[in-house]
Structure 1
Amino acid sequence: MKRLLSFFLCFGILIFWSSCRNDFEFTPSKGQLEFAKDTIYLDTVFTNIGSSTYNLKVYNRSDEDIVIPTIQLENGENSLYRMNVDGSTGLQNDTQIGKFFENVELLANDSLYIFIETTIDIANPDLGALENQFLYTDRILFDSGSNQQDIDVVTLVKDAVFIYPNRTPIDDDDNYIIETLTFDVDGDGTPDETTLQGRFLEDSELTFTNEKPYVVYGYAGVGAGKTLTMEAGARVHFHADSGIIITNEGTLNINGALSTDQDLLENEVILEGDRLEPLYEDIPGQWGTIWLYNGSKNNTINYATIKNATIGIIADGNQDAPNDKLTITNSQIYNVSSFGIRGTATSITAENLVINNSGQSAFAGTYGGKYNFTHCTIANYWDTSYREFPALLLNDFIVDENNTLFTNDLTEANFNNCIIYGNDNPEFLLENEGSVFNYKFTNCLLRFDNDNLEGTGNYNFNNTLFYVDNVFNQDPDFKDPFENRMQIGSDSKAKGIGSSDFSVSNDILGSPRSGAIDAGAYNFSTFED
């Protein structure tokens, strides 16, 4: 009986309390909304590519439940922005979806989110005569008259040269087939169809200038007898699963130049993803790779920055060609989800090269080959996930799908005045299954501290046929390796350990190497605290 009386008593109190509340009484806002920011910057986008979605938090700091009569874009139905207010797209007529909202309720001491995005065509005649980039602006208006409040919205839009594969419609429902590359994959002289979406560049497209950035969808192919040239200051952006492939008898020449501003890198050629927002600045794996396919030749890269790829460069075959498959100088490769450079039975010469932050190895020379690296910083401070391999990997074999082992000679692998280091240990691995496995480390700073391996096999560091005047397991004192700032500091053990016998006259920043020679791509003299 007591429980029954208690229930009725509580029920009565609840009814009385509810009858005194004005839960569903909203008063009009009085222009006292507060905002998390006074301007929404949507960062930079390419013409006709949708932006990321940005948000604005709106606060009702009062003790009253309010209703905001209108939230709208100042340019109305002509605005190139789209909004979503706490999950609502607003009026549902074709011209005002995402542009106009009525009677938006906001509880006392509560907040709501406004999400905003845009897609802008720089060639839109309504925008007037435009150069290669322009600012597009609008305002979000809250209420009207004396209670009106507003927030600015700003987007920088860039024009670009777009390279993408052809699409062939297959029905009336907007279904289509995307063009794929066909070329001699297996070296038998007969073109093979592949699943790589992309197309071969026309002759008129074989020079990338610095006038506009380039945006590549799929793989841009370079065919027999053709050369793709990238001029100093060119900017190349790749969509997901996109890249460049240089096929048999094709050539890639990246002709960057030394920059005066190391933040802007105005003269370097920069190759990265097509998302320009700061959120994507250092995210690995945004695009595919630069693929120097078997049979391509005389490829050169000078003053380039390659970042945020899956593999920075793949170089296949041509180990015994009269000229190196790839010569890469004064360049940087960062933030790749797999390998910085993966060479397979190929030949590479590198000077003043910096590789860092790779999900596997910074450099992998596999299935033999011929490699000569001088004044290179081959480092790996990857901290995003577990990595299986060290910064440097050399082997002379492959294993096929049938578990059959094939070997190929490592004719030479010379590392002179280099730094090979990272946040794991050891940071180089030498695996051989064949009879010819020639390698040598001279005047390098190396990380290898493993009692089980040291002194055995390929790791007899007292054998001067393979190791000469190296320094082991001493701090390179990089400026900030996790942020790819690989200059060496005053406490670096790479200072003065290099040999003039292998010296490249200037470091990667153009500073002359004179007097004591520092290992790696940077002189200590270029380090700034």
Structure 2
Amino acid sequence: MRNLLLFFCIVIMWSACEPTEESISFDPSLSLVFSNDSVAFDTLLSERRSSTRRLTVYNPNEEAIQFSEIALGKSENSDYSVIINGKQQLSVRNEQLLGGDSLMILVEVNVQARDENLPYLVKDSIIFRWNTNEEHVKLVSYGQDATDIGNVSICDETWTNDRPYIISDTVLVGSSCRLIIEKGTNIYFENDAALFIQGTLTAVGDSADHIVFRNARFDGIYDQVPGQWNGIYFLEGSADNEIAFAEIFNGQIGLRLGSPDDDDIPDVRVSNTEIFNMSTAGILAFTSDLSVTNTLVYNCGSYLVGGFAGGNYSFTHCTFSNEPALFVQDEPTVQFSDNIVISEDDLLTDDLSLEMTNCIVWGSGDNELLINNGGGANILLSLNNNIVKSGLELANNFTSQESNFPGFTNAFANNYTLDTLAFAKDKGIDAGVKNDIKGVLRDSQPDIGAFERVEKD
């Protein structure tokens, strides 16, 4: 009898310790907490999947609840997709959420093209139904249709600003051909895509409508990541190129010139342009003729500007800065040389002419300007009134290794305008450049660099 009583006691104790399934409450007063009341995406190019956004639903109650349904409002007609419990699905029923637990939902959008020039609103919602309650979390993005261009050779075309252009491979502007890009036009490049110019490129914007060359992904982290496309290449024979009021960023090489000829007339003229976030170089030239005015180049991997194997280069009122240094660099980021090593026993050399006036050459290294005459070719230098990061004296220029000696407003926020106490203020000489990079009128005592400081009243 004693053993039997002991047996029943053990069974009762074992039953009491066994976990019980949490009861589901159907009380309408039980509320849920959502991490967001809407899920928003940046403007997205049509027919291209977005990055993923997260939405968390939290049950703060002690009791479990059961969703009668979680569903996309437009169901199969939605541009959005959701992943619930690891599965992509339009809706789920009878999904349980324990007390004190949370449910994560992943949201993506793939905007369907509508053949419209202007960006258009793409809306839907995720509907949550439980205990006679209903909650809508809005899904919001803007879609943008574009003109897709693959691996082609083009001639005598004009690209308008009606809608963006997406270059998915290599586009070549043929010899004796011209590509005209209107102001306000956006050109987006897929991974490793490039624009090659054998003829002529005319890309002229204005202070209100820049021309943009950039990566095709611009949602989330992709907005500021270098190396997402190749670059713009000017090939041998290319001439009469002009780029003005443009932005070139998030690629490998902004402008790459390899256009040797028998004269010193600039084959590429660049003005009022920003080149930044390039994994290799902002401007990279080989035995080429180049003129650059009112241009800002920053955050580039190896070179802000490099001119090798000779060439003719002119820079006026430019700002070149790799401060802060987001890449590991052991050498100066602005370099010119009369030679380049082809192989162990082969050195390509040519005469080098360099003019630089009212420019800022700055960075995190001790010396940011290097001129190499190791090829034995003729070198003609005209460096006047520049601010150069260097420990060496440079006649007719200002050199320093002091922190932020030029006086940038906030280089760490990529703001290379000049602050009110900047050394570069009023230190320029008249170089015949009436306006700055933004189109602001320079005064009788111009500032050094691409920006003219305008004091507020």
AA paired with 1:426?
Answer: N
The match for 1:227 is 178
Secondary structure of 2:132's counterpart equals: helix
Q: Deviations over 1:118-176 (max 9, x none)?
A: 2222238xxxxx55321111110111673111101112111111112xxxxxxxxxxxx
The match for 1:515 is 444
Alpha-carbon spacing, 1:135–1:349, altered in 2? closer, same or farther (3 Å): same
User: Are the counterparts in 1 of residues 26 and 131 from structure 2 also a CA contact under 8 Å?
Assistant: no
Task: Give the C-alpha shift of residue 373 in structure 1.
Answer: 0.5
- Which structure 2 residues correspond to residues 30-109 of structure 1 after superposition, within 5 A? 30=28, 32-89=31-88, 98-109=89-100
AA paired with 1:101?
Answer: V
CA distance in 2, matches of 1:358, 1:18: 64
Can you give the 5+ residue segments of structure 2 that lack an aligned partner in the other structure?
Answer: 1-9
Alpha-carbon spacing, 1:269–1:151, altered in 2? closer, same or farther (3 Å): same
The match for 1:468 is 396
AA paired with 1:231?
Answer: E
The match for 2:113 is 122
Q: Deviations over 1:78-117 (max 9, x none)?
A: 222111013122xxxxxxxx21112223232121211111
The match for 2:349 is 408
Task: Give the C-alpha shift of residue 235 in structure 1.
Answer: 1.0
AA paired with 2:441?
Answer: P
CA distance in 2, matches of 1:163, 1:29: 57
Q: Deviations over 1:245-302 (max 9, x none)?
A: 112xx1111111122xxxxxxx111111112324322221121101111221111111
AA paired with 2:411?
Answer: P
Out of 434-443 and 294-303, give the one that drifted further: 434-443
Alpha-carbon spacing, 1:149–1:301, altered in 2? closer, same or farther (3 Å): same
The match for 1:445 is 387
- Which structure 2 residues correspond to residues 353-364 of structure 1 after superposition, within 5 A? 353-364=295-306
AA paired with 2:206?
Answer: A
- Which structure 2 residues correspond to residues 391-430 of structure 1 after superposition, within 5 A? 391-400=333-342, 402-430=343-371
- Which structure 2 residues correspond to residues 152-163 of structure 1 after superposition, within 5 A? 152-163=138-149
Q: If the length of structure 2 is used for normalisation, what is the TM-score?
A: 0.91
Choose between structure 1 and 2: higher strand proportion.
2
CA distance in 2, matches of 1:476, 1:509: 19
Is 1:257 the counterpart of 2:206? The answer is yes
Is 1:141 the counterpart of 2:92? The answer is no
Secondary structure of 2:71's counterpart equals: strand
Alpha-carbon spacing, 1:79–1:469, altered in 2? closer, same or farther (3 Å): closer
AA paired with 2:205?
Answer: G
Task: Give the C-alpha shift of residue 70 in structure 1.
Answer: 1.5
The match for 2:165 is 214
The match for 2:6 is none
Identify the match of residue 524 of structure 1 among 444, 450, 453. 453
Number of aligned pairs?
Answer: 445
CA distance in 1, matches of 2:238, 2:77: 50
User: Are the counterparts in 2 of residues 297 and 325 from structure 1 also a CA contact under 8 Å?
Assistant: yes
Q: Deviations over 1:394-429 (max 9, x none)?
A: 1222223x4234132342111111111122221112
Alpha-carbon spacing, 1:105–1:498, altered in 2? closer, same or farther (3 Å): same
Alpha-carbon spacing, 1:70–1:158, altered in 2? closer, same or farther (3 Å): same
Is 1:477 the counterpart of 2:407? The answer is yes
Identify the match of residue 23 of structure 1 among 21, 24, 28. 21
Q: What RMSD, in angstroms, separates the aligned Cα atoms of the two structures?
A: 2.4
Q: Deviations over 1:290-338 (max 9, x none)?
A: 1111221111111111111111110113253353121101111111111
CA distance in 2, matches of 1:321, 1:483: 41
Task: Give the C-alpha shift of residue 438 in structure 1.
Answer: 2.8
CA distance in 2, matches of 1:432, 1:13: 94
User: Are the counterparts in 1 of residues 52 and 107 from structure 2 also a CA contact under 8 Å?
Assistant: yes
Alpha-carbon spacing, 1:23–1:389, altered in 2? closer, same or farther (3 Å): farther
- Which structure 2 residues correspond to residues 301-380 of structure 1 after superposition, within 5 A? 301-321=243-263, 323-380=265-322
User: Are the counterparts in 2 of residues 409 and 437 from structure 1 also a CA contact under 8 Å?
Assistant: no
Q: Deviations over 1:170-189 (max 9, x none)?
A: xxxxxxxxxxxxxxxxxxxx
Can you give the 5+ residue segments of structure 1 that lack an aligned partner in the other structure?
Answer: 1-10, 90-97, 125-129, 165-197, 260-266, 455-460
AA paired with 1:411?
Answer: L
CA distance in 2, matches of 1:268, 1:14: 78
Task: Give the C-alpha shift of residue 16 in structure 1.
Answer: 4.9
Q: Deviations over 1:334-377 (max 9, x none)?
A: 11111000011111111111101111211111122111101111
AA paired with 2:372?
Answer: E
Alpha-carbon spacing, 1:377–1:131, altered in 2? closer, same or farther (3 Å): closer
AA paired with 1:151?
Answer: V
Secondary structure of 1:43's counterpart equals: coil
CA distance in 2, matches of 1:13, 1:411: 96
Secondary structure of 1:499's counterpart equals: coil
Q: Deviations over 1:169-219 (max 9, x none)?
A: xxxxxxxxxxxxxxxxxxxxxxxxxxxxx221255xx21111111111112
